[in-house]
Amino acid sequence: MKRRYLIGNLKMNLASVAETEQYLVALRKELFGKRIDGVEIVLAPSSVYLERFSRELPDPLRLAAQDVFWEKEGSFTGQVSAPMLRDLHVGSVIVGHGERRLYAHETDTEVGWKMKSALHENLQPILCVGETADERERGEEVSVVSDQVRLAFHDVSPMMAERVLVAYEPRWAIGTDIIPESEQIFEMRIVIHRALAELYGQPVADRVPVLYGGSVKATLLERVCFEPRMDGVLVGRESLYPHELFRMAHEIGNRDDGRREADGNEVGGE
Ligand code: PEP
């Protein structure tokens, strides 16, 4: 069965140890007596709280970091390396998030270096790609997103490529409550798979999950996840509410839209 994913990006929220502790208590309470089937839930807290999450995150939830640096160690003030994350039992890491591209001016090439440093340390990269409002206005979304994919996967072997999750996050939908149409999301899913197919061939491309992110709420899952046939969602602000998080997990995990089959391949190509 092809896996589905629910990634919670907690961003620079949970602004104190006390709030973090409250959140973890609420998570455990919401999870109590529930079965999580058919969906992997991965939470990405601020790096300051990774150690606490690593100790206290309830099973079967998994831990991600929000960023990683491309060097392993050395004089790189303020950075966190992939081996450091591995040491804290972090399993995944977000790379190329729109907010890092915006505020830290991260380039596609740097995002590619981060991807490779994560992969070499056996961390699963969650690669965020997506065009800005201006780029979409100019009709450049296909070339922008294709280039982001190509540069991030540059020099990544096919075997490693299959370990990456790609999240299509149009920058104009992050934190804005502006929701793309299902067709727009589906179209970009095809664009991402096409760029991957050019690099690795269709079978490998088909095995790379593509998620949607940008102002996701439980009530929008039909439009942003199921209709455009995405493999899950990346949720920002809404992941601060454990009740909503598990509501989404339940819907995603229990959804059977007939596109999965026993050997893990999708039914029908694009
Ligand atoms: C995100 O953090 O990637 C995100 C999509 O945020 P939000 O859901 O708050 O728009």
Q: Is 169 a catalytic site residue? A: yes
pLDDT, tens only, 59-116:
999 999 999 999 999 999 999 999 999 999 999 999 999 999 999 999 999 999 999 9
The domains of the chain are located at 4-268
Is 97 among the catalytic positions? yes
- Tell me, in angstroms, the distance from the centre of ligand 1 to residue 208's CA: 21
User: Does the CB atom of residue 239 touch ligand 1 within 6 A?
Assistant: no
Q: What is the pLDDT of residues 18-55, one digit of tens each?
A: 999 999 999 999 999 888 999 999 999 999 999 999 99
pTM of the complete model: 0.94
pLDDT > 90: percent of the chain = 91
- Taking the centre of ligand 1 as the mean of its atom positions, its distance from the CA of residue 75, in whole angstroms, is 31
For ligand 1, atom 8: residue with the closest CA: 236
Residue with tokens 């966190």: 80
Is the pLDDT at 267 greater than 70, yes or no?
A: no
Is 214's C-beta closer than 6 angstroms to any atom of ligand 1? Answer: yes
Q: Is CATH 2.60.40.420 the right assignment for the domain spanning 4-268? A: no
- The pLDDT tens digits of the residues spanning 143-174 come to 999 999 999 999 999 999 999 999 999 999 99
